[in-house]
């Protein structure tokens, strides 16, 4: 029964998260409120997403649970080291996209800019480095319970669906340049180019 509540909560969170991220909703809100309040939209979106995800994490921790597996040392140390590497890659990816832009602070201060098309750094090897690092971080957990496993599977499904819609948006924004990048760069599994 715990898995049901976790999946339902993540489904609701994902639905709201996706609606708020959609160009259609942002356009509707911009028409309703005007451009000035939209400067703070990305920051609001990030804070709202974070705060509304906390109850899901609470459910994972608080609902009845059972251990699926626990990896012992020394393999568990290697897995934790891998998680550390993924955290570093997440930080590098966020810095590469621009920390202030990613957080929504730049938009709040300077207003919206035309989106920047990034194909260097981590994006040279994979189109969604933040998603890849996030997924690997989850699955490198040395201890997995039924609840955390449920969260990981549901999160992966959401990431895959979100990446699909994000790619459609990027194709509209960047046209042929994105189509070429997409044809040469894998979506999730990094390609080490020379």
Which uninterrupted H or E stretch holds 79? helix 75-97
pLDDT at 83 over 90: yes
Mean pLDDT of 66-89: 97
> CA–CA separation, 161 vs 6, rounded Å?
18
Residue 36 — pLDDT band, cuts 50, 70, 90?
confident
| pLDDT value of residue 8 | 94
Q: Is the distance from CB of 59 to CB of 4 less than 8 angstroms?
A: no
CB-neighbour burial class of residue 19 (10 A; exposed 0-12, middle 13-18, buried 19+): exposed
Cis omega (within 30 of 0) on the bond before 74? yes
pTM (2 decimals)? 0.86
pLDDT at 178 over 90: yes
Count of C-beta atoms within a 10 Å radius of residue 131: 21
Mean pLDDT of 161-184: 92
Residue 193 — pLDDT band, cuts 50, 70, 90?
low
pLDDT at 55 over 60: yes
Average pLDDT, the chain: 91
Q: Which of 23-32, 73-82, 94-103 has the highest mean pLDDT?
A: 73-82
Q: CA 19 → CA 12, 155, 194, distances in Å?
A: 11, 17, 39
Mean pLDDT of 151-179: 92
Give the chain's largest Cα–Cα span.
Answer: 57
| pLDDT value of residue 107 | 83
Q: pLDDT for 111-161, tens place per residue?
A: 777 778 999 999 999 999 999 999 999 999 999 999 999 999 999 999 999
Least-confidence region, from 16-20, 50-54, 111-115, 128-132: 111-115
Least-confidence region, from 105-114, 142-151, 162-171: 105-114
């Amino acid at each position: 029964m715990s898995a049901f509540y976790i999946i339902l909560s993540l489904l609701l969170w994902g639905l709201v998260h996706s609606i708020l991220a959609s160009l259609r909703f942002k356009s509707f809100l911009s028409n309703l409120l005007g451009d000035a309040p939209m400067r703070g939209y990305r920051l609001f979106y990030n804070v709202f997403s974070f705060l509304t995800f906390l109850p899901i994490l609470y459910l994972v921790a608080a609902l009845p649970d059972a251990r699926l597996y626990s990896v012992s040392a020394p393999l568990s140390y290697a897995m934790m080291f891998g998680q550390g590497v993924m955290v570093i890659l997440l930080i590098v990816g966020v810095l590469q996209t621009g920390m202030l832009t990613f957080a929504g602070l730049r938009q709040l201060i300077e207003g919206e800019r035309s989106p920047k098309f990034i194909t260097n750094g981590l994006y040279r090897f994979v189109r969604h480095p933040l998603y890849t690092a996030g997924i690997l971080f989850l699955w490198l957990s040395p201890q997995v319970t039924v609840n955390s496993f449920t969260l990981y599977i549901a999160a992966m499904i959401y990431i895959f669906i979100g990446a699909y819609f994000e790619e459609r948006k990027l194709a509209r924004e960047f046209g042929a340049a994105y189509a070429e990048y997409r044809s040469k760069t894998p979506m999730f599994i990094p390609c080490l180019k020379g």
